[in-house]
Amino acid sequence: MTARPRLTPAMADTRRAVRELLREVFPEALEAMTAMPGCAGGTGYDVPVDAPLVLVALSGGADSLALAAATAFEAQRCGLRAGAIVVDHGLQAGSAEVAAIAAEQARRLGLAPVAVERVEVSGAAGPEANARAARYAAFEKAIGAHNADAVLLAHTLDDQAETVLLGLTRGAGGSSLAGMEPVSGVYLRPFLGIRREQTVAACSDQGLEAWSDPQNADTAYTRVRIRNDVLPVLEAQLGPGIAEALARTAEHLQDDAEVLEAIAENVFSNTAIVAIKGMTSLECSIEDLPRAIRVRVYQRAAAATGSGPLTSAHLSGIDELVTGWHGQVGIDVPGGRVVRENGILRFEL
């Protein structure tokens, strides 16, 4: 019989992070389990067969492997079933073997079901964006195939800090600088308060062999340069705690964004007219609203129309049609066009 690994600080931290978020999102699951005969106090971990299912997005790297181990330990204690989805992007030689090893480690941890999905990465958006789109399409497919309730993603505090810095370099607005949310629809990120060094330690402490993605050392990617060059310089010049400070900034902006998004949703629902598929109209009277609200309304109109994501330049151009209109015809946006006629702003494909 294999002895259980001794509980270490890194293991405890990763497990606690998973436990807290799962109990926050699925409080009724724990209640259902503890109400079952023989499970008084939740000590029996006899999870109902129809309990919610969560899937860990597992690449085999240290972050996702530590998440898989923590979820395998904590899910049943929260009244949940837990499995894994492994996505093979096919971008590197031996990727199928890496995916197979990751899937086998998931099974050894006790996760079930474990699905492996090979995807084709293509498109004009660039390698990172194309890979992300293919990956999330695979997640959605797995959710449907297994009737899963959530997918757990292994983004760490370090990833959050890098995201905020990326947003700063792009001149992005508050929504982008708010970074990633712990709960975004069916996607859960328990590790946004966990450092990357903790996931590496958690894997080592449990005898798990993590895969090292060579792309994480490829300086052709901006995120890699931020991770390996920019953040260390900031830490050296400004003192430790930069990553944590950036992550806290994201949390504060998320609180602000939550309020602004709620207001914008109310404005959009009261002013938008979706006349036909592929066209959405807004009343230009929204010019009296603060810009932070207006741009969020524009984003909703574009999404309702079927247009692609709007950049800061697009949003500024659209806003000029509302607040500084002097007869200009309109502007092009991804997949469509925005024009103004008779006091109405029209988004069309």
Q: What is the pLDDT of residues 124-142, one digit of tens each?
A: 767 778 888 899 999 999 9
What stretches in the chain show pLDDT beneath 70? 1-4, 36-45, 125, 171-173, 175, 275-277
In angstroms, rounded to a whole number, what is the distance separating the alpha carbons of residues 253 and 294?
Answer: 18
- Cα–Cα dist 178/117, whole Å: 31
8 Å CB contact between 345 and 282: yes
Count CB atoms within 10 A of the CB of residue 84: 29
Residues 127 and 152: beta-carbon distance below 8 Å = no
Interatomic CA distance for residues 83 and 89, integer angstroms? 20
* Beta strand residue intervals within 21-159, DSSP E: 53-57, 81-88, 114-118, 150-152
- Are the beta carbons of 192 and 155 closer than 8 angstroms? yes
Query: Are the C-beta atoms of residues 30 and 42 closer than 8 Å to each other?
Result: yes
Query: Could you report how far apart the first and last alpha carbons of the chain are, in Å?
Result: 63
**Vertex 117 angle, CA 112 and 121, to 5°:** 150
Phi, psi at 116, each rounded to 5°: -115, 125
Q: Measuring CA to CA, which residue among 229, 243, 163 is closest to residue 197?
A: 243
Among 143, 162, 141, CA closest to 152: 143
> Beta strand 81-88 with 114-118: parallel, antiparallel or unpaired?
parallel
Backbone angles phi, psi at 34, to 5 degrees: -70, -20
- DSSP-assigned letter for residue 326: S
How far, in whole angstroms, is CA 57 from its chain's centroid? 11
Specify the DSSP class assigned to residue 228: I
The whole-angstrom distance between residue 344's C-alpha and the CA centroid of its chain comes to 35
Q: Is 254 left (phi over 0), alpha (psi -120 to 50) or beta?
A: alpha
Q: Which domains does the chain have, with CATH numbers?
A: 9-238 (3.40.50.620), 272-348 (3.30.465.60)
Report the Cα 20 to chain-centroid distance in Å.
18
Classify 287 as helix, strand or coil: helix
Q: What SS3 class is residue 348?
A: strand
- The β-bridge partners of 344 are 283, 341
Q: Which of 243, 196, 209, 199 has the alpha carbon at shortest distance from 8?
A: 199
Task: State the pairing for strand pair 344-348/336-341.
Answer: antiparallel
User: How many helical (H) and strand (E) elements, i.e. helices and strands, does the chain have?
Assistant: 13, 11
